[in-house]
Structure 1
Amino acid sequence: MKRNTVRWIAAILLLLALAAGLSCPSIVEAEEATKLPMDFTKGGVKTDKDKWTYDGKTPVAYSDSTIEVTSEKSSVTAKVKGKNVKHEVWVIRIKIQDASQLRTAVSKDTYNGRGQAKGEDIAKSKNAVVAMNGDFFKYENDVGYVVRQAEFIRDATDTSRKKKGQPICFDMLVVDNEGDFYIVPQARTKEIEEFIETRLTPEGRTVMDTFNLGPALVIDGEVQDIASSQAAQQGDYQWNYPQQRIALAQTGHLEYAIVEVFGQTDSTAGLTLEEFANLIAEKVPDAKIAYNFDGGGSTNLILNNKKICKTPGLREITDIIYFASAEGYVEE
């Protein structure tokens, strides 16, 4: 066979292979997406154990036709008692097929009371691929504008407990029904209603979840000035105090990242909020929105029902945010 003929055949085979790869993405296109039920008591589809990747005994990645999860472990140096100490950092990246796979769940499957549970137990009950702690809204039941899985829970933004004579006012993270993130700075009823009327309703979008803790660390790709953030300083964030921290970011449409920095031990203290915001800018440079969640002893990062970065003094929690598989889901 002539050399030119061989080259042409090889080129054609390569093009066919590339075309096959492009036509068979690991995550199905949106028009074929399977939607999970909005009922907060329902979870996702149980994962396929053969689709998990482990580093030793630690789950580090999962992929099926509806979700991709990858993780990166690194470290950051921070001062502890005047010494430079390395702190473990985890970045979990998630890509989902449909917005319904970004979900929330609560302890004991009820919004009532202050009942708490282990984060991994809540995650397991919902077949979570990856989960993190939420904002403790059940326990801190006198603050915030709260929506979960499209269900309105309460509006206590103007009647919440006071600090320096004023109601505590949070930067609020809004997740819409398309899975996109927004920040309503120092949110109160008026600002929230205006945001919904001007930003969501004209686009035919609705509120799926809201979170009331923060503060916002990144907005529109820009790291926020935590030192001058009124929301950070009036909330219970210990903003200038180093501690274990966790944040949730959106990096693209239906693409997200969770960032956790290890702390809570005698040798590791964690980061201040300002240090944490700068860390996110470094580790997740494509973050559009990044939002701080309850840190310290509430910090939970869970993969395949296994808590990452186990530390002493961790407490039970009231709620989680999680990402679930929808592969093979059949509507009941």
Structure 2
Amino acid sequence: MKLPYRILLVLMSAAMILSLPFVLSSPDLLDSTKTELMNEGDEDEGEEIDFGRLIFPSALADDLEVVTAEAGQLMPHPEWALPLDFSVPPMPNPAGYTETGYTDDTINVQLETREMSGTTVHVARVQISDPSQLRTAIAGDKVTKDKTSHVITMATYNHAVIAMNGDYYSQVPEKKLFEFRMTQKRKAKTNKIKDTLIIDRNGDFHLFVRSAGLADYAKAHSDRIVNAFMFGPALVIDGQVQKCDTEYSYAPNYKNPRSAIGQTGPLSYIMVVVEGRGEDAGVTHQELAEIMGELGCLQAYNLDGGNTSELMLLEGYKEGSPKARYHFKGDQNADERPQSDIIYFATAVPESLWN
């Protein structure tokens, strides 16, 4: 081979070698490599690969924004998720109490009292980090039994941060035909005269007016139902305040003490007790719907009211003397009423991790 050709070949080879870093750093090839690595990871649960450090220089990877939780939401802690049964959650940390509520890494509760619709309204705004912290408790050991107890007894036994009455399912049980508590079924029949609230495994509310669509939902999502109530009426659906039926049960047109629960966003809720039968007259169903709409509910549901209506923030667990730090009653002239069930929110922070 002639010398000029040899020199030309050497120069071409050198040029190819020098160009290799630029070829290998092509974004398209890196994307392809990343895709292959991700696909391999789907087939084999090996060590997790940090693509930030694989692709970017170390200094840039350290500057990447870490997404933790949506604005206004708490950081998820799936490792602390509570079992969806009647087991007792951790106690609230005594250091978590504030003048107006309670807060820790998994729950934030803020209480306020307002004058709305000409009456006193007690409001608890609750944000949780995991759906399992929205819970129910019953007076007996089985949801199929009709035992009763006081709200404060059920709440303190279950280490509730905040609790309210449920729908008193054991009273007039022939009318409450679709009832679940912590995935346990009491009854699962439709009722064309009652509205139903279902709370699913995501902590989301689903409302069914006069049972419309309830049977189909229950068949398709039976494994998603955690709690269900047949009392009502539905007050707010998909952000729209409902026009309440004046022929509905539970004295819809009379001003009475009332209880209601609503969802305002992902893992964000409102518990409400309206005073009545004292200095305050109470509210009608329609007035309660307007209140829940004004408070920002996307979904809202009426629970048992009258002398069943109670809302309380609990404390004193560590000291061995749990009690109500704040206790709001709907009926100002009645004693506490034994009932079958409560709705409550719990912390998920293990007691071993208290600061």
TM-score bracket for this pair, using the shorter chain length: 0.7 to 0.9
Match of 1:224 among 225, 242, 257: 242
Determine if the alignment matches structure 1 residue 72 to structure 2 residue 112. yes
Match of 1:270 among 264, 271, 282: 282
Cα shift at 1:109:
2.9
TM-score (norm 1): 0.76
Give the SS at the match of 2:140.
helix
Give the SS at the match of 1:309.
strand
CA–CA distance in structure 2, aligned partners of residues 329 and 104 of structure 1: 21
Match of 2:328 among 303, 309, 317: 309
CA–CA distance in structure 1, aligned partners of residues 73 and 94 of structure 2: 18
Cα shift at 1:49:
1.4
Q: Which amino acid counterpart does residue 154 of structure 1 have in structure 2?
A: K
Structure ranking higher on relative contact order (CA contacts 8 Å, 6+ apart): 1
Pair 28,329 (structure 1): closer, same or farther in 2 beyond 3 Å: farther
- Point out the more displaced range, 247-256 or 44-53: 44-53
How big is each residue's C-alpha offset from its partner over 1:103-126, in whole Å with a ceiling of 9 and x where there is no partner?
110113332443221101100000
How big is each residue's C-alpha offset from its partner over 1:157-195, in whole Å with a ceiling of 9 and x where there is no partner?
36xxxxxxxxx621100101111011111117xx32312
Q: Quick one: percent identity of the two aligned structures?
A: 32
Q: Which amino acid counterpart does residue 271 of structure 2 have in structure 1?
A: I
How big is each residue's C-alpha offset from its partner over 1:115-138, in whole Å with a ceiling of 9 and x where there is no partner?
221101100000001111011112
CA–CA distance in structure 2, aligned partners of residues 97 and 329 of structure 1: 17
Cα shift at 1:260:
1.6
Determine if the alignment matches structure 1 residue 39 to structure 2 residue 85. yes
CA–CA distance in structure 2, aligned partners of residues 96 and 329 of structure 1: 17
Q: Indicate the residue corresponding to 2:291 in structure 1.
A: 279
Pair 308,95 (structure 1): closer, same or farther in 2 beyond 3 Å: same
Q: Indicate the residue corresponding to 2:197 in structure 1.
A: 173
CA–CA distance in structure 1, aligned partners of residues 211 and 351 of structure 2: 37
Q: Indicate the residue corresponding to 1:241 in structure 2.
A: 254
Determine if the alignment matches structure 1 residue 114 to structure 2 residue 146. yes
Kept after mapping to 2: 8 A contact 1:27/1:67: no
Match of 1:289 among 289, 296, 299: 299
CA–CA distance in structure 2, aligned partners of residues 38 and 140 of structure 1: 27
CA–CA distance in structure 2, aligned partners of residues 141 and 252 of structure 1: 31
Kept after mapping to 2: 8 A contact 1:36/1:329: no
Kept after mapping to 2: 8 A contact 1:217/1:223: yes
Match of 2:172 among 118, 124, 140: 140
Moved over 6 A (4+): none
Q: Which amino acid counterpart does residue 80 of structure 2 have in structure 1?
A: T
Q: What are the ranges of 5 or more consecutive residues in structure 1 without an aligned counterpart? A: 1-18, 55-59, 79-86, 159-167
Query: Alignment length, in residue pairs?
Result: 275
CA–CA distance in structure 2, aligned partners of residues 157 and 179 of structure 1: 22
Give the SS at the match of 1:217.
strand
Pair 108,261 (structure 1): closer, same or farther in 2 beyond 3 Å: same
TM-score (norm 2): 0.71
**Which structure dedicates a bigger proportion of its chain to strand?**
1
Pair 46,184 (structure 1): closer, same or farther in 2 beyond 3 Å: same
Pair 124,31 (structure 1): closer, same or farther in 2 beyond 3 Å: closer
Kept after mapping to 2: 8 A contact 1:171/1:184: yes
Cα shift at 1:26:
9.8
Kept after mapping to 2: 8 A contact 1:113/1:139: no
Q: Which has the larger radius of gyration?
A: 2
Cα shift at 1:259:
1.6
**Which structure dedicates a bigger proportion of its chain to helix?**
2
Q: Indicate the residue corresponding to 1:151 in structure 2.
A: 184
Kept after mapping to 2: 8 A contact 1:169/1:186: yes
